[in-house]
């Protein structure tokens, strides 16, 4: 048997306010998409590819949330309902209808309906689940479209360029911090010598590798 709080929630789903909310949710689903991407640095990583972590901004109507690539890895792609269907919007319905004509309270408290408890599902969670279940086909279609969009983005030349550029800026800032640390302690000639030594080291490493390759081919061809 349904509890009094469940009966109240069910009564709200029969209202015009709920119908309006559901219609708006369906409209937002048709436009659900990734609107942009951002990057964050993984300071503990050294590998250039792993050091830069992308985040994709998902937008549903007026609301948005950021998700990492791991979010899209699951074949089921769980729709981020708790992030994108705001509690403050859902709570407008009980705040308007609770105790009004046609919506009995069954001697329950509105605060408890909104906040929930270990035994009572709060209204916002109930409403999210109901919106998802009533529109499961459209939710699945929208989620599949966004997952495909994410895959297309990470393969695009623009994304690859932006990710590399973000890594380049990390390197530039690290070099800059070291240079600024000693900028007023030593002369420009010392800083130049340090940079020259890096270039020389790189050239020597490349030359040594070239010698090894030549030696290898000479031995194998002999």
pLDDT digits (tens, 9 = 90+) for 184-212: 777 778 777 777 776 676 666 665 445 44
Name the residue with higher pLDDT: 111 or 204.
Answer: 111
Query: Are residues 153 and 205 part of one domain?
Result: no
Q: What does the pLDDT read at residue 114?
A: 95
Q: Are residues 200 and 129 in the same domain?
A: no
Query: 192 with 163, same domain?
Result: no
Using an 8 Å Cβ cutoff, are 50 and 56 in contact?
no
Number of domains comprising the chain? 2
Is 141 among the domain residues? yes
Residue 106: name the closest of 210, 3, 212, 217 by CA.
Answer: 3
pLDDT at site 222: 47
- Averaged pLDDT, 130-145: 94
Q: Residue 178: inside a domain, yes or no?
A: no
Cα–Cα distance, 190 to 183 (Å, whole number): 10
Which of 24-33, 93-102, 196-205 is the least confident region? 196-205
What is the share, in percent, of the chain residues with pLDDT greater than 70? 86
Q: Which domain holds residue 151?
A: 4-167
Does some domain include residue 173? no
């Amino acid at each position: 048997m349904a509890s009094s709080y469940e009966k109240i929630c069910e009564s709200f789903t029969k209202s015009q306010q709920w119908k309006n909310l559901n219609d708006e949710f369906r409209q937002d689903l048709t436009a659900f998409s990734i609107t942009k991407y951002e990057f964050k640095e993984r300071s503990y990583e050294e590998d250039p590819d792993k050091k830069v972590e992308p985040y994709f901004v998902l937008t549903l109507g007026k609301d948005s949330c950021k998700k990492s690539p791991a979010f899209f890895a699951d074949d089921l792609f769980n729709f981020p309902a708790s992030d994108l269907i705001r509690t403050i919007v859902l709570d407008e319905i009980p705040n308007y209808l609770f105790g009004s004509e046609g919506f009995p309270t069954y001697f329950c408290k509105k605060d408890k309906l909104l906040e929930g408890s270990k035994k009572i599902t709060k209204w916002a969670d109930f409403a999210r689940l109901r919106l998802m279940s009533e529109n499961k086909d459209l939710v699945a279609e929208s989620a599949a479209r966004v997952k495909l969009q994410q895959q297309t983005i990470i393969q695009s030349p623009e994304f690859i360029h932006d990710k590399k550029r973000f890594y380049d800026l990390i390197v530039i800032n690290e070099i800059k911090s070291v240079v600024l640390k000693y900028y007023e302690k030593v002369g420009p000639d010392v800083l130049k010598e340090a940079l020259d030594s890096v270039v020389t080291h790189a050239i020597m490493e490349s030359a040594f590798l070239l010698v090894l390759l030549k030696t290898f081919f000479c031995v194998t061809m002999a």
